[in-house]
Structure 1
């Protein structure tokens, strides 16, 4: 822990910037957007499956766009890219606020929120830290991932309070204003060090980009790494998207359930820190082979325990997996592929991750509308997650790439 604190003090500016990216990504994450679901279902008169379909289509579109722009962090000025992403995310919040006017505005809002929030802001933060650090990469990534935990602890409380007091429109517009203010603040930051760390200086071409993606997909390592990430995105998004619907069907107290989410955020926060230390000590590949097992056990509690405390156990165990995932998913990509084309390579993995978050609400919403029980649905998700984790164990046979880091670490 002392090493982590010393590292943070010595690198507070670059790490703090990356942390702000994951923190602000909360405006496009499912845990926050789920707060708008009950009101949007009522206002737009939509069934859960219909709403899940809209969310899925928008997320798929976002994932495709992500694939075409994620590479920009490898060769474009970081300040310019970050500013554009923040302003686009702010505009998406405004569209969400006015989505009651017409359903087409909801499509635009969700596409922008998923692309710029969950997709690009997260991508920027983790890519920069992977490229900046080698020996201390785990620490840098763990501190960056703490933005998720803090956002999950803070944003739901603030946004739900605004929704209850002033309505969802006010909450969405306030979110957009916060993002605009931060985008203005970015203009006064010195981010040139990030630009100097770019090692991919070749001129961009769509042909070369397509060749890189084709090469990656044909590589067996890709499917070993992408399977648990896909499973985690699919399952966590589906559950958190419909979490309040599940709570109502179970007859659980919604305020009590919401308070349990704090335990999830705290657990994720602590394991994000521990995960970074463990990555530097043991290597990302060892953790990657086992990080989904805690959440898998939690799914069994959620499926078979009728008391609301089954949900508490699930949230705590999910916090363990999600906390470690924030660090290990990016670190293992860097260990296996190197960092020379980190933005381009990570954008492909991010595309599949974003795509998985589209399929989760869509398929689970369809199952629920067809009358499949809550317990059976969760158990099916448990089986899926265990199979994905067993496949991930194959990463232990993949050697680590040894490279000379182009950046001098502090």
Structure 2
């Protein structure tokens, strides 16, 4: 069987399995997840052994220390994966929830009910824990899932999926509800992206190049997250100490993640005092500041920014910084260069805070808080499948509810249309 035929077969089986998943009760799904978590812990030694093969191959390929760290599994990390599955099991089940019931003049009762999306395809890189995280979220929301991890984690991903699938079989649930593409070749991704008859949506998780490749090749709707160019706007009424703490946290806690701060905007009315203050604070923390002309005039040791810096996702201890005339200018800058990920205003002016919330249209908009809170777990979703920077079908961090859609339900008493 060719790669194309095998993937078509996997996708078709997932479609059939999705019908069974949609009918499962909450208690059955929760029990399944709890046993999946136990299976990971009980088979940790085998998973670690398979992971060692990936690590050895990665070292030979010259993967960076950071990449190898993301790839590495030990018993502690596997326990963390199991804990994450427990958290998903504890979340409210969105499937079957009825909302917005209303009565029509003809006495028809109309409402909307949450249902699974069907079959979700996940394409991801590096981190083997995504295999269990994505499986748990998709299965809890009543979907089937087709996983395609990176070639650098093939042994780890296959081992994790094997033990999770065994728990499906024990309950006579079609094991195709959790499928993994066993091919490392790029052809496997391309064939997966052709299965629009069987897969309802693709969610890529990885670098910008992967996501752009998926969008270019896919015949299936894609929930995109190209990059996180996150902004903090320090308003004229901002408390300097609060602004300092938020900027430090947003930029330096984990600079290599998508919700880290990449551009700092400062109101002109406070620039003379705030720019030298924040430059000195961040310089001590080894942050390189790339400023516009006004910023560099007040902080002469800053590097002069170039046009490309304003739309850059540095993922490093580098921060673009600009002085803006007012909130209009700040919002214009965000609209021009932002990626619709996360923006925050630091202000003590209630009116300005409300205006920023209303007029900035990113997936997450904050007042007096670090952009690092733009995360499903931190926002109370329990877990996330990813962060969408496109407005269809979901926007911002995506939890269980975002892996469902709604259908109309109508209750009548014999009404016919005139």
Q: TM-score, normalised by structure 1?
A: 0.27
**Larger relative strand fraction:** 2
Q: TM-score, normalised by structure 2?
A: 0.27
Higher Cα radius of gyration:
2
